[in-house]
Amino acid sequence: MDTIPIPFRFDADAWSVDERDFPAASSTAERLQFCLNYAVLAPSCYNTQPWFFRLTGDALELFADRSRRLPVGDAEGRSLVLACGAALFNLRCALRYFGLRTKVTLLPWLREGDPLSNSEVPLARVQIDGAESCAAPERALFQAIKRRRTYLGAFDPAPISQKLIDAMQEQARREGAWLGILEDVEAKAQLSSIVAQADRKQFSERRFRAELAKWRRRGAPLMPAMAPGALQLGPHGEFAEPFGIFLDPMLSGHEPRDLIEETPLIGVLGADNDTPLDWLRSGQALQRTVLWARAAGVWASYLSQPMALPDARLEVAYLLDRNYPIMLVRFGRVPEPAPSRLLRAARYIVGR
Ligand SMILES: Cc1cc2nc3c(=O)[nH]c(=O)nc-3n(C[C@H](O)[C@H](O)[C@H](O)COP(=O)(O)O)c2cc1C
């Protein structure tokens, strides 16, 4: 690939991107480039931000950054693709907000190889395809991009309205995924013990602890404390403490299990199949659903532990009576807003 790499740098100001700076009168490339500032505000496992982009004229390609894979915690690369899907949704949303119609092709050159093992193969290609005005619901999604943060603490236990749940499920469907709901006490208690077991299993593995420690060291200011599964480590808590897992102040004062059982709504995002294409769609669905919730004043927090372990994942599928669960998300209203995490600058390379 003939490219000019943009040097890596941290960008403490990534969240301060301002829509008034959109270069409306500039070239397509510059407008695409500006919208990348919204793509990189997406969530990612351990805050790895495992994506990069290639800009070629009027198109952008999204790639998985294999150097930011988690070979132990995310052996299949599912979380990585989910994060890339979330970034892709932000990008689509920003382009739409600024009046640009897009044509998006997922896994455009799959025949050329596997995008998770070959850095020449993109996960998606986004092309500008004319102009289009942005309707009110899409504007609300865009406005939520900058207001979204992962909320690690306990949620207000007040229930979420059925109307909002229906709308969130519709958002997931629109991206080709489904959103199952766990609301009753019994189901949440069962999920709580599945998550606790998954945590214990992961933390009992030296390679897992080493990988987590590496990411904490590498991105000290980038990665927040883990929650809420890590809170339920029980006898394995002593392994986690040296890595600073309990450092997040939002977690202090909460009993183990509180976070899941007192959460008003647990969403299980899933797809009808379990291929990288489904993960990419699910990542977009995840972000669309989370942004929709955020626009309605509801925050989200992710639980990926049981999704990384095949047995635990199967238990979640049984609990819900549906395959394939892909990500667990706690939803609720919050007593006070979460702080923003540091992000890397929008990284892209320019194809010649
Ligand atoms: C696929 C995926 C998996 C995640 N898994 C977890 C998790 O298991 N526990 C957790 O506390 N946060 C999890 N997160 C949230 C990240 O830690 C968070 O997105 C990242 O630190 C950036 O912070 P922000 O979302 O507030 O911008 C996950 C996020 C994604 C996209």
Per-residue model confidence (pLDDT) at position 167: 98
- In b/e form, how buried is each residue of 97-135, taking b as 16+ CB within 10 angstroms? bbebebebebbbeeeeeebbeeeebbbbbbbbeeeeebe
Q: How far is the CA of 43 from the centre of ligand 1 (A)?
A: 6
Once rounded to an integer, what is the mean pLDDT over residues 100-122? 90
Q: Are residues 224 and 197 in the same domain?
A: yes
- Sequence-ordered strand ranges (E) for the chain: 3-5, 10-11, 51-56, 59-64, 100-106, 124-131, 178-182, 265-270, 299-303, 325-332, 343-344, 348-351
Contact yes or no for 50/64 (Cβ under 8 A): yes
Tell whether 266 is covered by a domain: yes
Judged on CB neighbours under 10 Å (0-12, 13-18, 19+), 260 is buried
Strands 3-5 and 348-351 turn out to be antiparallel
Q: Are residues 139 and 227 in the same domain?
A: no
**Who has greater pLDDT, 52 or 228?**
52
- The finding on whether 48 has its CB within 6 A of some atom of ligand 1 is no
Tell whether 221 is covered by a domain: yes
Q: Are residues 265 and 173 in the same domain?
A: yes
Q: Whose CA is nearest to atom 4 of ligand 1?
A: 45
Q: How far is the CA of 47 from the centre of ligand 1 (A)?
A: 6
Q: How far is the CA of 19 from the centre of ligand 1 (A)?
A: 25
Tell whether 300 is covered by a domain: yes
Q: Are residues 203 and 270 in the same domain?
A: yes
Torsion of CA 7, 13, 15, 20, to 10 degrees: -100
Nearest CA among 231, 237, 263 for reference residue 250: 231
Strands 348-351 and 51-56 turn out to be parallel
Once rounded to an integer, what is the mean pLDDT over residues 155-168? 95
Task: List C-alpha distances in Å: 287 to 278, 336, 339.
Answer: 14, 22, 19
Q: How far is the CA of 330 from the centre of ligand 1 (A)?
A: 12
**Range with lowest mean pLDDT among 35-39, 44-48, 82-86, 143-147:** 44-48
Once rounded to an integer, what is the mean pLDDT over residues 210-214? 80
What is the number of structural domains in the chain? Answer: 2
Each residue of 259-274: pLDDT tens digit?
788 899 999 999 999 9
Rounded distance between C-alpha atoms, residue 113 and residue 272, angstroms: 23
Each residue of 169-188: pLDDT tens digit?
999 999 999 999 998 899 99
CB atoms within 10 A of CB 168: 25
Atom of ligand 1 nearest to the CA of 225: 11
Q: Are residues 193 and 140 in the same domain?
A: no
> Taken in order 60, 61, 67, 72, is the CA torsion positive or negative?
positive
- The finding on whether 305 has its CB within 6 A of some atom of ligand 1 is yes
Q: Residue 323 sits in which domain range?
A: 162-332
- The finding on whether 226 has its CB within 6 A of some atom of ligand 1 is yes
Tell whether 72 is covered by a domain: yes
Tell whether 82 is covered by a domain: yes
Tell whether 135 is covered by a domain: yes
Tell whether 151 is covered by a domain: no
Q: Are residues 116 and 227 in the same domain?
A: no
Q: Are residues 122 and 52 in the same domain?
A: yes
Q: Are residues 169 and 196 in the same domain?
A: yes
Alpha helices in 40-105 (DSSP H): 78-97
- Pocket test of ligand 1: the residue of 155, 304, 331 to mutate, having most ligand atoms within 8 Å of its CB, is 304
CB atoms within 10 A of CB 267: 26
- The finding on whether 150 has its CB within 6 A of some atom of ligand 1 is yes
Q: Are residues 132 and 211 in the same domain?
A: no
Atom of ligand 1 nearest to the CA of 86: 31
Once rounded to an integer, what is the mean pLDDT over residues 287-292? 98
Per-residue model confidence (pLDDT) at position 229: 47
Per-residue model confidence (pLDDT) at position 240: 53
Backbone φ and ψ for 119, nearest 5 degrees, come out as -75, 0
Q: Domain holding 178: CATH number?
A: 3.40.109.10
Atom of ligand 1 nearest to the CA of 286: 31
Rounded distance between C-alpha atoms, residue 65 and residue 204, angstroms: 28
- Pocket test of ligand 1: the residue of 41, 44, 218 to mutate, having most ligand atoms within 8 Å of its CB, is 44
- The one-character DSSP state at 350 is E
Q: Are residues 110 and 182 in the same domain?
A: no
Atom of ligand 1 nearest to the CA of 41: 27
Backbone φ and ψ for 63, nearest 5 degrees, come out as -125, 150
Once rounded to an integer, what is the mean pLDDT over residues 180-209? 87
Q: Are residues 245 and 317 in the same domain?
A: yes
Tell whether 107 is covered by a domain: yes
User: Dmax over Cα atoms in the chain, in whole Å?
Assistant: 60
Q: Are residues 195 and 85 in the same domain?
A: no
Q: Domain holding 88: CATH number?
A: 3.40.109
